Chains A and B, each alone.
Chain A
């Protein structure tokens, strides 16, 4: 039988507190899986996410493996988190007493072979984890060999999304770097796991009701989605492009500042234009916006999706220009904060963990299908090159590539690494074409006055 609320056994006594601490499993984990699970074809979706780090030179895989091994020995939470029942069944990672780090795979491609690199990342997204038998994280190092001494490396960390959110993945890399440097103490459970919501049920209950009511009244009809009704939906594809900000950080308008509703508006307007070209000029859109609940200024927990959601919704009429839509979305988000809806949504999602997944869908206003939104969009953060000592090389760029559910099968994501602005489009084959995906990023870059840096 699984230990459920207990930490994984056999930590060798290195961190006894970790074995006693209850595991926090937040409701957003349920949502992440529910949005990816569904039924039929949608059930084959892989809720994976990847962090890609480009380095100048050869990454030392042995150093990464050694740091991960020490991390798991001290804090085997990667395993423990999945050793408990989920609402719809068991995800049991049957690990030995001391968790064995997953192997770090290496491949070599030619420098500048963008298609080969893209294929490697797509393979990571499309290869499912089997949590009953495998570690919920994978590492791959792609060496890009050029003529002579010219070599670059790309580090790809892929994880099973219920394990952690993108910020958590960055925190994991930071912890590995700290362990590798040997300058800090090993992390403890309290540093790693998102804290549970300790408010009593009499407080959380009404908030969950508020969340449910909000979801039911959000939209009167199913949201527009390019995937709805498609006879076949293929594997995930990606398009990544890197840009520089034209004005170099001078005083900027709200649309161009790194403010998410402005960026979502740019994406929303581009998607609305695409819908219009496909004969849907009056579509209604819903976009779940993840809200990082971590206090600011500290890295925060690694394990667990420490998130709430805001459900942005708009119509094509709201999206005549990005600026118009930005004002609309910003007002909507401010209202959600004023009415405590973000907190209610966090609690509502959290309470889902006590329910079977089939309970989830009837709570939504659009129950005819399993596409819960029109597209995914997120600002997955600013990757800092702090992990340089771990990689042993200069970090040139870093970005997240989150997987998207087959329904809606489309996501546009923002990442920043130093002065580099990265745009990532992920889609399921058949939902949009490659040309449409590229045009989405082109439109985003044009509206934000970004100049192309390179393409991948």
Chain B
């Protein structure tokens, strides 16, 4: 079920981190909001799972042209991007 996205960067970051650490990362290999996705071993397939989670949870699909390092470097930058999108909507 989709939830409307409020521009709450901390809340969105927490939600993203919760999903990533339970669904993507190996047990005992949790990441923090500013840990690099690439450095944590998140490959393109795992990143796509994160984007699908964002779509399901927040109703936002990130278009190809926005899938750049600036937006998807880590959970925090992704949350900031999503909140900007929500504010602009």
Contact = CB atoms under 8 A, between A and B. Distances in A.
Given A295-B25, A296-B43, A257 B52 contact: no
A296 B46 contact: yes
12 contacts: A254-B65, A257-B68, A295-B24, A295-B27, A296-B25, A296-B26, A296-B41, A298-B28, A298-B41, A330-B64, A334-B51, A337-B48
Contacts of A379: 43-44
Interface of A: 249-254, 257-261, 291-292, 294-298, 300, 326-327, 330, 333-334, 337-338, 379
B67 interface: yes
Contacts of B67: 254, 257, 259
B64 A254 contact: yes
Given A296-B25, A297-B26, A337-B52, A252 B45 contact: no
Nearest to B35: A297
B68 A297 contact: no
Interface of B: 24-29, 31, 38, 40-49, 51-52, 64-65, 67-70
B66 to A, nearest CB: 9
A254 B47 CA distance: 12
A296 B52 contact: no
Contacts of B64: 254, 326-327, 330
Given A260-B44, A296-B41, 7 more contacts: A254-B65, A296-B42, A296-B46, A298-B41, A334-B52, A337-B49, A379-B44
Nearest to A253: B68
A300 B70 CA distance: 29
Contact of B69 (A251, A261, A333, A337): A251
B29 A296 contact: yes
A334 B67 CA distance: 14
B48 A296 contact: no
A296 B40 contact: yes
Nearest to B39: A297
Contact of B41 (A260, A291, A297, A330): A297
Contacts of A333: 45, 48
Given A252-B68, A326-B64, A295 B29 contact: yes
- Most chain A C-beta atoms within 10 Å of own C-beta, residue among B31, B38, B44: B44
Contacts of A294: 26
A174 to B, nearest CB: 13
Nearest to A294: B26
A9 B70 CA distance: 54
Contacts of A251: 68-70
A261 B28 CA distance: 29
B52 A259 contact: no
Contacts of A326: 64
Nearest to B66: A254
Contacts of A254: 64-65, 67-68
A253 B72 CA distance: 12
B63 to A, nearest CB: 9
A300 B67 CA distance: 28
B69 A297 contact: no
